[in-house]
Structure 1
């Protein structure tokens, strides 16, 4: 069975960032979006067991849609710096998990996802699953493509299929484009037709199917003000439909074969999780590791002495200084331990200072010591 899972990187990062309180690791790096993203990724991968997987990102703020409408997404506030600095760590985490990520200049993540999803469908994949927080992608739903929209927090999702869209809106997935064309989308600063909300847009589409057919039957539409608005803002409706239409023929340079997934090595992930300070995920990975073979503990003989024979003070000897506090640079020294591979010798600090052989050994730079 061939199953492709496609993640909408930017959308999910935003969702994770605003769903979780600001977190940071011990270096002061913000990590809440990375953590939320990691939880979504690992949960989906474990549940779905895909044969192919990829995360798509937006390449920048300007796309081909800005050439159609300069104010596209113009109302959006600037990405918080606390979120922006987390994207490199999200990508680092993906690489540790052996998950491919991709972006394409002048296009959005939606377009990359749409292109790959339909390619997979044409190539005979059994199932394609899209994970996103953007309802525009529901236009891609088909018998083989399911669009999961994040709802609350970072774990709950709503599965969108042709059947569920028919039940909810009495529309086909293709008509989601017409719905947005008529009612617009304030989050992307897409105007639509002034005065037309979801209820009116649905009523029009149930009668006339498409934006173009609605505009062709303006004279048949009931309501004077609605007729006026459809006439005045007809070009906005056509433009809005074009803006929300996901391109499924983008010139991507990554193939389905390149995003085949065969799992990851926990040893590749563990250092990244440690660096980010993700204890729960780290414990999960460490728990999956085979238990290290435990060697029996050796019995050591400890001798408390006032001096050590010079022939026992050999290069490579292990030396441990016991101090009153952890700050060994400023703390008083209580005693010293010396280990030659067979016996541990313990001397008080006063005894060490009184021993010519031991002080010469400690200060002789030509004799290597192992500090412990």
Structure 2
């Protein structure tokens, strides 16, 4: 593991990592299973991704955040929110509970809140720990929406294709790559919408136009205050879709006041090798423990 230069909390976007792990292996047509037939490919892949990040970034503390299922406040605001999502594959469904058991065996808290998404739990915890403690925060995810959480104490680790391949965003790298501030990520989504989350933004405005407008006028408020400067076509699109513009921005913004909490002591990264190996043996993936460098005491 890397030397820890300063205390750092790694917030893991459990949903993003688990889905990535499932599809990375399921695409080959092979699903890892126990002798009893229990699918474990997503769990196995999750731990590979997760532990590689721990080795790479050397956090002193770790929390894993999850969607809880059921209705969310975004679904209440906009009934079609995520309405285009397919059901989770049958082989993945039992692994949602299984991965939480594995994280429990690693002494890593599993955090979620009814009515909210994992993103909101991550945003809330990042805000708390950077404001109330000395910890810096890193978020492990594949979701570019998380870039809105960046600040001087919070970095976003975007998982790229393949193991051990990351792009780490802070305010400087975000500006260098996208010419945007964290707050402007939300304004972009308000304008262009999000096909994967199934909200439209302003009809007829895509990423290229949204980027140009946000860069030129700074924010949605800046754009609305300068409608007379826009081309007639763009102005008409925005004026025709004002309600959806504001709703889309509301849906895009990560909520950072969720009723979740975890003590510093509760999320310190401390493995008990026996507990970890017992769980891996139960799931017939003892080799994973060896790969992690965990041996039975």
Q: Could you say if the C-alpha distance between residues 55 and 194 of structure 1 is closer, same or farther in structure 2, counting changes exceeding 3 Å?
A: same
2:15 corresponds to 1:10: yes
Q: Secondary structure at the match of 1:146?
A: strand
**2 CA distance for matches of 1:248 and 1:102?**
14
2:50 corresponds to 1:45: no
Match of 1:189 among 198, 209, 212: 198
**2 CA distance for matches of 1:82 and 1:153?**
22
Q: Secondary structure at the match of 2:64?
A: strand
1:247-266 aligned within 5 A: 247-252=255-260, 254-266=261-273
1:204-223 aligned within 5 A: 204-222=213-231
**Runs of 4+, deviation exceeding 6 Å:** none
* Alignment partner, residue 340 of structure 1: none
Higher helix proportion (structure 1 or 2): 2
**2 CA distance for matches of 1:46 and 1:93?**
18
2:24 corresponds to 1:19: yes
Asked if structure 1 preserves the Cα contact closer than 8 Å seen for 2:274 and 2:295, the reply is no
Q: Secondary structure at the match of 1:193?
A: coil
Structure 2 residues not aligned, in runs of 5+:
1-5
**1 CA distance for matches of 2:157 and 2:139?**
6
Q: Secondary structure at the match of 2:34?
A: coil
Report the TM-score, using the length of structure 1 for normalisation: 0.74
- Greater alpha carbon shift after TM alignment, 138-147 vs 43-52: 43-52
- Greater alpha carbon shift after TM alignment, 182-191 vs 19-28: 19-28
Q: Secondary structure at the match of 2:38?
A: coil
* Alignment partner, residue 143 of structure 1: 152
* Alignment partner, residue 165 of structure 1: 174
1:311-330 aligned within 5 A: none
Asked if structure 1 preserves the Cα contact closer than 8 Å seen for 2:274 and 2:296, the reply is no
* Alignment partner, residue 288 of structure 2: 281
Higher strand proportion (structure 1 or 2): 1
Q: Which has the higher contact order (CA 8 A, sep 6+)?
A: 2
Asked if structure 2 preserves the Cα contact closer than 8 Å seen for 1:15 and 1:154, the reply is no
Displacement after TM superposition at 1:285 (Å): 5.7
Between the two proteins, the alignment pairs up a number of residues equal to 288
Q: Could you say what the CA RMSD is over the residues aligned between the two structures, in angstroms?
A: 1.7
Asked if structure 2 preserves the Cα contact closer than 8 Å seen for 1:11 and 1:132, the reply is yes
